[in-house]
Amino acid sequence: MPRNDEKKKIIEEIDKTGFPLELRVSKFLQDEGYYVANNLYFIDQDEGKGREVDMRALKNYEFYSGRKNYFIRHLLLIECKKSAEKPWIIFTSPKTVYDKRLFPLQARGVKENIKWLDYDVPAKLGEIHPFSKNERCGRSFFEPFSSGKDGKTIYESLIKSVKAAIAMRDNKYAAAPNDVCIYYPMVIFDGKLYEAYLDEKNKINVQKADSIMVSFFYESPKYQDEKFTVPIVTERYLSTFCSDLDSTLQFLGEFFKDNMSLIKAT
């Protein structure tokens, strides 16, 4: 086989995988000021062994008080998935009172005896946070045209990102004294993403989507009452989503700067 033909076939095979997506996402996040680490292992408590998450991305808001510097941080635990032929369908329903009240942000570095989300945050945070941009929440999922798989790939992507976020949170990664870190599991998808929901006539309506916030509750003998919102974001929408996250980080940074008594100090 001529060398050029071999290279072409190699590239064609690579393009069928999710590796180019991972490389593109990693480069984009680094260009946006994130510290990115790829292909990281964490301990899956259910299985009692290490598993790999595609990416960890950290972004800081830094401020000084006296001679000390403080960091408010966003930590993204990312799974990248490509599906060239099979779309992803996420079934959604309108947010309930419970959804609106919950707003599950997982943080470390805040004093344990203070519920910081009840302090003075939710109203403004709800205006700018990307979790609040969708009127409906994802509840379940489906992969059409997949023999015997149903929503297996989607579920595995969600649970891996969630367990990675739990591992980072429980290890207090990036949450040293004087630092607050918020942990975000997320899935970045290269493919056709659809939202399916009941319309006013109780008929299923299917619409293309750029991002869907999935309400993900998980419990097992090793994981107790874990509640996350997991964004599934298409690659083309990643820039907009990260811009909204940046606005959120800026707001939270200023909030904690004005309320330093909430931060767990040295």
pLDDT tens readout for residues 83-142: 888 999 999 999 887 776 556 688 899 876 556 666 556 567 878 889 888 889 999 999
Distances (CA, A) of 218 to 94, 163, 225: 20, 10, 6
**93-107, 180-194, 228-242 — which is least confidently predicted?**
93-107
261, pLDDT greater than 90:
no
d(CA 206, CA 89): 8
pTM summary value: 0.91
Report the chain's mean pLDDT, rounded to a whole number. Answer: 89
Concatenated DSSP letters for 79-106?
EEEEEEEEEEEEEEEEPPHHHHHH---E
Which neighbouring-strand residues pair with 56?
A: 37, 77
Tell me if 70 sits within 8 A of 63, measured CB to CB. Answer: yes
19-37 mean pLDDT: 96
Three-class SS of 163-232: HHHHHHHHCCCCCCCCEEEEEEEEEEEEEEEEEEEECCCCCEEEEECCEEEEEEEECCCCCCCEEEEEEE
- Residue 72's DSSP bridge partners are 61, 180
pLDDT in tens, 150-173: 778 999 999 999 999 999 999 999
Which class for 167: exposed (0-12), middle (13-18), buried (19 or more C-beta within 10 A)? buried
Residue 96: predicted pLDDT: 82
Q: What pLDDT, on the 0 to 100 scale, is given for residue 237? A: 96
pLDDT above 90 covers a percentage of the chain that reads: 64
